[in-house]
Amino acid sequence: MLDSIDLETRIREILDAHRGQEGSLLPILHDVQEAYGYVPEAALPIIAADLQITKAEAHGVMTFYHDFREKPAGRKVLKLCRAESCKSMGADALAAEVQAKLGLDWHETSADGAVTLEPIFCLGLCACGPAAMVDGKLVGRATAEALVAKVKA
């Protein structure tokens, strides 16, 4: 469990770091997610009050963007590109194979909390697809074996 006093202190530090920045909500949410691995629900009222917006507005912004998580992800996050260029190189078959090997559907985290599987739409690696990202690290010409080995490493 998060200690609520610690949380508030940390969120206030982040808010102070963005003081005076124009349109600072996204940078703030990125920093909160960087600190916690997700955006804790308890953080939103603190952020909203500080930016003088409603909690609903803060919640609305956070949930609009695919990147922000409401709960922690697995220890490793595997993102598979599902866009056209990667599809032309067999991304659908790769995804089916990875899903079968990991026993996970999109947006699912394995029961042991080891890995989360997510779709992503384009990593800009369109001439060396199918592309993937494992914990922020880029992979070109990805194979199911190599990806599963990386997430299990």
Which residues are near another protein by CB under 8 A?
Answer: 21-27, 29-30, 51, 57, 60-61, 64-68, 83-89, 120-129, 131, 133, 136, 138-141
Tokens coding 54:
């409603």
Q: Whole-number minimum distance, CB 124 to another protein, in Å?
A: 4
What CA–CA distance (Å, rounded) separates 79 from 119?
5
β-bridge pairing 115-120 and 76-81:
parallel
Comparison of 39 and 102: residue with beta carbon closer to another protein: 39
Comparison of 4 and 63: residue with beta carbon closer to another protein: 63
Comparison of 3 and 98: residue with beta carbon closer to another protein: 98
Give yes or no for a contact between 142 and 132, defined as CB atoms under 8 angstroms apart: yes
Comparison of 80 and 112: residue with beta carbon closer to another protein: 80
Q: How many alpha carbons fall within 13 Å on the CB side of residue 79?
A: 14
DSSP-based three-state secondary structure for 118: strand
Q: Whole-number minimum distance, CB 59 to another protein, in Å?
A: 10
Q: Whole-number minimum distance, CB 1 to another protein, in Å?
A: 27
DSSP-based three-state secondary structure for 9: helix
Residue 149, Cα to own-chain centre: how many angstroms?
A: 21
Q: Whole-number minimum distance, CB 116 to another protein, in Å?
A: 14
